[in-house]
A and B are shown apart, each in its own frame.
Chain A
Amino acid sequence: MLRKRLIGVVTVRKGWAVQSFGYRRYLPLGRPECLVENLDRWGADEILVQVIDRSSRNLGPDFDLLMRLGKLGLETPLIYGGGITSADHAVQVIQSGADRISIDQILHNSPCEVRRMALRLGAQALIAAVPIRFCDTTWLRHDYMKRQCFPFDDELPALFQDRVVSELMLIDWQNEGNITEFKPEQLARLPFTEVPVIMFGGFTKPSLTRRFLDHPKVAAVAVGNLFSYREHAYQDYKRVVGSVSLRPPTYYG
């Protein structure tokens, strides 16, 4: 059985790595490649680079950034998300050095294009990123372009049933950078089954991360801002989480 993962997230906006708070307020951090290199040195299980302003500005994927990341010689699997609107984009992103891609808007705007991506790259390379709210007893997905929440239609569950995407990343977008209000028990109400889940957004408390990692549906938890505040923040966080399902923290050169 595979170990679960703690993913380090680097959020990029206008070319800068930023701390994000609810995707509404941002504080600068620095060069994205410096943050990625740092997470790599810390032995992160996986690194997610999410470039959050490419789709809204119709810019396509940030290939310049991917080229700079490619030169780092990373040992850590890299997930790239941002601006991917076609299967060709997805292939180019993988060719540029990413190991997997994270997609959001295209899941709903063009699910057939997602199927084309899976045919070319394989489902293992695709992660469905879904900003989400839990309202009463129902999960609603948040469309950040339309700034509205919608119930799930049949398309997304079909993508999972047909094994077109490998994992589902649930993003607590409202509490991102704060403390998530999600509870593990709420995962039972997801309209999809059989799909491993990555939790992201507001996982500042190691105890909460531990509870989610103990849930059988959860394959990984992703954390962003917190890993920029002190040295070895990633390893210390892992140690405090204390979950045997995670790879032990490491200290290399």
Chain B
Amino acid sequence: MKFCKRCLYSTSHPLGLVLDEEGICSGCRVHEEKDSLDWSERWSKLESIVAPYRNTDGRNYDCIVPVSGSNDSYYIVYLVKERLGLNPLLVTYNRYFNTPLGIRNLANLRIRFNCDILYQNINPESVKRIVRSTLQRFGSIYWPILAGQSVFPVQTAVRFKVPLIIWGAHQGLEQVGMFSHLHEVEMTRRYRKDHDLMGFEADDLLSVFDTLNETDIWQYRYPTDTELCSVGVRGIYLGNYVRWDPKAQHEKMIDLYDYGSSSFGRTFDTYDHVDCFNYMDLHDQLKLFKHGYSRVTDHATREIRHGRLTRSQGLSLVRRFEQEKPLHLDQICQWLGIQRRSLDFMINQHRNPIYWHSNEPGEWSFHGWSTHHPDFNLEDTKSSQATTFMATASRELGSCNSYITIGKGWPC
């Protein structure tokens, strides 16, 4: 395992990471393009790409935009509607782990931007069966969400014959420099299976050794190549044409459109994932168990690359946050219908022995990424301006901390 000399990522990154002869990782190298590319020229390119998809008779949408109650949804819709002047159909997949703040953000999004929106709600019993299976088999409670979020827009594009899907940033490009901005990488089924779904498409979940059946998974099937080709479905990433900076973008959206943010126990970032009780909770803990690092490392690396944190500040933040205990384990046990001991047993099965050593039953010592860096002069980050992230609300919004499984809207 080798580390980048600039950020906090290692060559063990699950998306793949390569170091060049100077010891700088592919993610940092591609990030350098953000300061060298002519972004006005890139914007012009984007305009020329979307131009043929504008609906001339007003009888259909110009594009599909996948959204949620957090992440970059506000900024994406802002670019699509206000800057590009397109008429989007918003689509959202119900993840069931919804926070009141997430439901409020999503309602605020569709109202403030005045957009049509489609919701997909897969029947909860099937979702629970899938989550129990994927938690046991490969330590993920998020497979249905990742599968649903990535396939529902494509299914909608085929059904409604709206070929263009507009996404925000490409995860592989932003994290590990999997592609240059100039490659103009687009959405592919291959990337979805390989990385979003950890190598398992819907049909790959069916097994004689499992209880899942066709009725549980058929909704997560990707359209066929014939269907995609007949409509001309194409998914582009705004991050290839816009200098992507999530912190700055979120702050702009808080200012202009009242996006709601919230603090977390396991990271300093208050803008991402506010719509889910489990992403920065059990899901993040499972990432630490399996891969030896967690989301706070992604956030710190991002801020280091944007020049808002030094490497030692980033490492300080990682060490401060990554071992914080999840807060919502009882809720997921209740939702899944399993005992807390069963949950603990299942998640401990997925502790990677490279990063976790069991000293005694039930006791573990951590040897993950953050333990491999030398204890260089770790900086106090509490008063650092560089780590100022606004929390404008709480995820519970003053109500209870139960999942809002179906959010009907929010008075705004």
Contact = CB atoms under 8 A, between A and B. Distances in A.
Contacts of A252: 224-226
Given A27-B26, A31-B199, A231 B187 contact: yes
Interface stretch (B39-47, B72-80, B177-185, B282-290): B177-185
Interface in B217-252: 224-226, 228-229, 233-235
Interface stretch (A35-43, A46-54, A96-104): A35-43
A137 to B, nearest CB: 34
Interface string B108-143: 000000000000000000000000000000000000
B193 A231 contact: no
B194 interface: yes
Nearest to B185: A229
Contacts of B229: 232, 235, 251
Given A27-B18, A231-B233, A34 B199 contact: yes
B190 A27 contact: no
A35 B199 CA distance: 11
B17 interface: yes
Contacts of B176: 28
Contact of A231 (B179, B184, B186): B186
Contact of B188 (A18, A25, A37, A230): A230
Contact of A16 (B16, B179, B193, B228): B16
A191 interface: no
Contacts of A228: 185, 188, 190
Interface string A102-114: 0000000000000
B195 interface: yes
A253 interface: yes
Contacts of A27: 18, 26, 177-180
Contacts of A25: 20
Nearest to A25: B20
B205 to A, nearest CB: 16
B234 A231 contact: yes
Interface in A7-26: 16, 18-19, 25-26
Interface in B160-214: 172, 176-180, 183-191, 193-195, 199
A251 B225 contact: yes
B188 A231 contact: yes
A187 interface: no
Interface string B76-105: 000000000000000000000000000000
Given A251-B225, A251-B229, A28 B190 contact: no
A162 to B, nearest CB: 41
A29 interface: yes
A151 interface: no
Contacts of A31: 194, 199
A122 B224 CA distance: 38
Nearest to A249: B229
- Interface-central residue, B16, B177, B179, B188, by most chain A CB under 10 Å: B16
Contact of A253 (B187, B190, B199, B226): B226
Contacts of A230: 184-188, 234
B15 interface: yes
A30 interface: yes
Contacts of A16: 16
- Interface-central residue, B172, B178, B194, B234, by most chain A CB under 10 Å: B194
B21 to A, nearest CB: 9
B189 A229 contact: no
B24 to A, nearest CB: 12
Interface in B1-40: 15-18, 20, 26
A29 B17 CA distance: 9
A9 to B, nearest CB: 15
Contact of A35 (B26, B190, B235): B190
Contacts of B190: 30, 34-35, 37-38, 228
7 contacts: A18-B18, A27-B180, A30-B15, A34-B190, A230-B184, A251-B228, A252-B226
Q: Sort A-B residue pairs by CB-CB distance and give the 10 closest, nearest first.
A: A28-B16, A30-B194, A34-B194, A230-B186, A38-B190, A251-B225, A251-B229, A253-B224, A251-B226, A231-B188
Interface of A: 16, 18-19, 25-31, 34-35, 37-38, 41-42, 228-232, 235, 251-253
Given A27-B18, A231-B233, 20 more contacts: A18-B16, A26-B18, A27-B178, A27-B180, A28-B16, A29-B16, A29-B178, A30-B16, A38-B188, A41-B225, A42-B225, A228-B188, A229-B183, A230-B188, A251-B225, A251-B226, A251-B228, A252-B224, A252-B225, A253-B224
